[in-house]
Structure formats: structure tokens, C-alpha cells
Chain A
Amino acid sequence: MAFTSTIDIANNVARITLVGELDAGAAPTFRDQVEQAANAHVQRLVIIMTDLTYMASAGLRALIFAKQKMGAAVDIVLVGVQDSVRETLEMTGFHQSVAIVDAYDGDETQP
């Protein structure tokens, strides 16, 4: 499946929706959007992964970039993570650095 990444910034929250496979070829697009979110000085970065079917190590590297670029004060929330992607996050230990939720309704107090 072709990869797409779309960003929407509103009310101090950046929402990036990832669809398809986040591999080495796709990672730079995602990374650019993380920079956009960082430049907008949002308080929270929500990454919708419901339709993300695969994440290579290059994708994980881009997530670490997001964590670093956004800074410690910004929450990163991963939403609707599929099992194969969750396995990668848990095996490598990155799940400790972010919040993982099944659904995100836009409530600022969540999770």
C-alpha cells in the first residue's frame, strides 16, 4: 500500500495520520511533518496509526526524532496501533517513551 502522511494543526494539537507502510522511503515525509508540528509549538502530537500496517526501523527512528524534536514537555500519543507495529514498539522498548491509546477523541486531558 502506498504510504501517505497528513497533518492537521489546531488548538495546540498536531494530528498526523499515517497510512500504509512507514519504511525508509516514507520516513522523510513523516519527519517533515514532525518538523512542522514542532515549529507550530504545539502542546501535543497525536499520531493516528489505525491504518499503518508496517513500521520499519527507519520509521521508528523518525518517531525517536519526533520525541527529541518536540521536547520533553510535549506529549506524544499513538492511536490505534496495529499488532505488528505494537510488537516493534514493545520489542525495542520505545513504547516506554510515548502514550499508546486505542482511540483518541480530541479530549485534551486524555490519556
Chain B
Amino acid sequence: MQEEQISEPAAHAQREEALLKLERDIQIGRRIQASFLPTTLPEVPHWELAAFFQPAREVAGDFYDAFMLNQNRRVGIVIGDVCDKGVGAALFMALFRSLTRAFAQQHYSLRWMDADETDFLTSPVTDRRRGIPSTGTTALKNAIGLTNNYIINNHGDTNMFATMFFGVLDPVAGVLTYINGGHNPPWLFNAAGVKMRLMPTGPAVGMLPDVDFGIQQVTFEPGDILLTFTDGVPEARDPDGAFFTEAKLRMLINDPMPAAAQELLERIHGRLTAHIGTAAQFDDITMLAVRRLSASDVPDVS
């Protein structure tokens, strides 16, 4: 056979070349994937946004996003974790991220949304409070509901899903309207403690067909910080295989209260790095923090 005529060094060289080609392709994939993350976070007066992203491999299934909506009157804030690992998760990360951003930025009303508005008008007042149709609700519903159906209708046979937290912030009122699709509950906290955990309002996105994702709201007081994170944080392992744990994460977020969102992320990163030590990083680690500045941060603001 022809292959038998190839000398051992030549076969070795061929394998080397194939590996190099693969490595180049992966590096290209890594660069393209990086372009699916925001290069800079929006600068919002009286607010601070900070992000941390550290993939476990060359390409990641985690993502985060932050972008302006409604003619700069709202800020979309997203953190997500696509199931499984490797190139498959990375391809779906690009899809989930693009769909949520594109659907959120569509402002026209969709027919299936009209049913919701009718419900609002005819429903008892007690129910209305839960589903206040403030600006941003349509963006949220579109982003998560349409993405969920798109993934199931077009890629259902892959069983891919993503846990995802999507919030729409009204920076003037300090109100965050959100959907939590099966994602690790973020903490809203201040120096006194955790004010609220933003629990799931529906299942992971892409998991179940025709889900009605619930919408919730939370209000930031000056100085409050929202920490969103992926499971790579509590599930980071030390060399003996022990998890970092949510309990440990909870202990360090406001003790002492960080003066900035960036400081909080650096603190957690430092503790995580110490915990992981010489162990291999198993999962992508991603965090996105949002802080409402206090009067001491901006002396010119009452």
C-alpha cells in the first residue's frame, strides 16, 4: 500500500502539520468567538458595569453581554452558560448571544405578545403588579421567548440549552426588569447583606417548548451591587477536587463591602485563583456585576 512507503519521519511530519493546522483553526475560532463578547461595556451615568471572563479551554460556552436599548434609555444585561463543553458549546454560544441581542433590539410588537397586553388590561390589579408592562418588557419577552422557540424548533435534536439571566435596567429609576432562565441566581446586596436573590422565573432556554417565562423586577438603592455569575465560580475545584461553593462566594461578596463593581470581581477572582491552585480549570468562569453609584461616588449628584 502507498502508506507503507511513507517513511516514519515523513509520517511524523504529516501528523505535526495536521496538528498545527488544527491548532490554527482553533485559534481562529477563539478570535472569532471573542468578537461575540462586547469589547467595551456601556458607560451609564451613575452606574458601574464590570465583567470577568476566563474560559477553561480555547473556546467557551459562557458569555455575557451589555448593550443599550430603547434609544439609550435602557441597558440590556445578559449572562449565559451553554450546556456541555468544547466547540459545540462555543457554536451555540454564538447563536444564543446573537439571537437574544437581536430579538431584544426589535421594538415592534409581535402578535403573540398582544395576548399578554390584553391579559394585563383585563386581569385583576394584583396580577398586574407581577407583569407590569414597563418599557423593556417586550425586549425581554422577545429575547428569551423567541430564542427559546428558535432553538427548540431549529436545533431541538441537539438537546442544547443555555441557562441565562437577562435584565433590562432603567438607570434613572434604578429598576431592573428581568427573566432568569434556569440560571444561578444572582445576588443583589449592600454592606448590610443580601437584599434579594434573583431566582429562576422559568427553565433554561432551549429546554422546553412554548414556555411562558415569568418577569420580575428589583430596585437598586444607591450603593447596591448585583453580582451575576456562571456555575464555573461555585464549581471551581481545588487540587483535591473540592468545590469553591456558593456559600464561600456569598461570604466574601460584602465582607467588606467593595467600593466598586470592578473591585468585587477582582476579589472573587483572587480567591478563585487561590482555590484552584495547581488544579486544571474545569469550567468557564464568567461574572458580570452592576453597581448603582452612591452619593459619595459622585459628589455633584444629590
Residues of A within 8 A of B (CB): 23-24, 27, 56-58, 60-62, 64-65, 68, 91-94, 96-97
B200: CB under 8 A from chain A?
yes
- Other-chain contact of A93, B82, B84, B86, B203 (Cβ < 8 Å): B203
CA distance A91 to B161 in the complex (A): 13
The answer to whether A57 and B83 touch (CB under 8 A), given A91-B182, A93-B203, A93-B207, is: yes
Across the interface, do B160 and A24 meet the contact criterion of CB distance under 8 Å?
A: no
Q: What is the distance, in angstroms, from B289's C-beta to the closest C-beta of chain A?
A: 20
Across the interface, do B161 and A61 meet the contact criterion of CB distance under 8 Å?
A: yes
Q: Which residues of A contact B81 (CB under 8 A)?
A: 57
Q: Which residues of A contact B185 (CB under 8 A)?
A: 91
CA distance A24 to B282 in the complex (A): 10
Residues of B within 8 A of A (CB): 81-86, 156-157, 159-161, 163, 182-185, 200, 202-204, 207-208, 231, 235, 282-283
CA distance A61 to B84 in the complex (A): 7
Across the interface, do A94 and B207 meet the contact criterion of CB distance under 8 Å?
A: yes
Most buried by B among A23, A57, A97: A57
The answer to whether A92 and B182 touch (CB under 8 A), given A61-B160, A64-B159, A68-B156, is: yes
Query: 3 shortest A-B CB distances, which residue pairs?
Result: A93-B203, A57-B83, A92-B182
- The B interface, classified by DSSP as helix, strand, loop or mixed, is loop
Across the interface, do A64 and B161 meet the contact criterion of CB distance under 8 Å?
A: yes
- The A interface, classified by DSSP as helix, strand, loop or mixed, is helix
Across the interface, do B208 and A91 meet the contact criterion of CB distance under 8 Å?
A: no
Q: Which residues of B contact A60 (CB under 8 A)?
A: 83, 161
CA distance A56 to B207 in the complex (A): 15
CA distance A108 to B241 in the complex (A): 39
Q: Which residues of A contact B86 (CB under 8 A)?
A: 24
CA distance A62 to B207 in the complex (A): 12
- Other-chain contact of B203, A58, A68, A94 (Cβ < 8 Å): A94
CA distance A104 to B203 in the complex (A): 27
Q: Which residues of B contact A56 (CB under 8 A)?
A: 235, 283
Q: Which residues of A contact B200 (CB under 8 A)?
A: 91-93
CA distance A58 to B157 in the complex (A): 15
CA distance A96 to B200 in the complex (A): 14
Q: What is the distance, in angstroms, from A1's C-beta to the closest C-beta of chain B?
A: 9
Across the interface, do B84 and A96 meet the contact criterion of CB distance under 8 Å?
A: no
- Other-chain contact of B84, A57, A92, A97 (Cβ < 8 Å): A57
- Other-chain contact of A64, B163, B207, B282, B283 (Cβ < 8 Å): B207
Q: What is the distance, in angstroms, from A93's C-beta to the closest C-beta of chain B?
A: 2
Give the nearest-CB partner of A25 in chain B.
Answer: B85
Give the nearest-CB partner of A66 in chain B.
Answer: B159
Q: A27-B84, A56-B283 are in contact. List 11 more A-B contacts (CB 8 A).
A: A56-B235, A57-B84, A68-B159, A91-B184, A91-B185, A92-B203, A93-B200, A93-B202, A93-B207, A93-B208, A94-B203
CA distance A103 to B295 in the complex (A): 57
Pick 8 A–B contacts, CB within 8 A, sort by A. Answer: A23-B282, A56-B283, A57-B83, A64-B207, A91-B163, A91-B183, A91-B185, A92-B203
CA distance A96 to B211 in the complex (A): 12
CA distance A58 to B161 in the complex (A): 10
Q: What is the distance, in angstroms, from A19's C-beta to the closest C-beta of chain B?
A: 16
Across the interface, do A97 and B208 meet the contact criterion of CB distance under 8 Å?
A: yes
Give the nearest-CB partner of A90 in chain B.
Answer: B200
CA distance A23 to B161 in the complex (A): 16
- Other-chain contact of A61, B156, B159, B282 (Cβ < 8 Å): B159
Across the interface, do A61 and B202 meet the contact criterion of CB distance under 8 Å?
A: no
Q: What is the distance, in angstroms, from A85's C-beta to the closest C-beta of chain B?
A: 13
The answer to whether A93 and B85 touch (CB under 8 A), given A57-B231, A64-B159, A65-B159, is: no
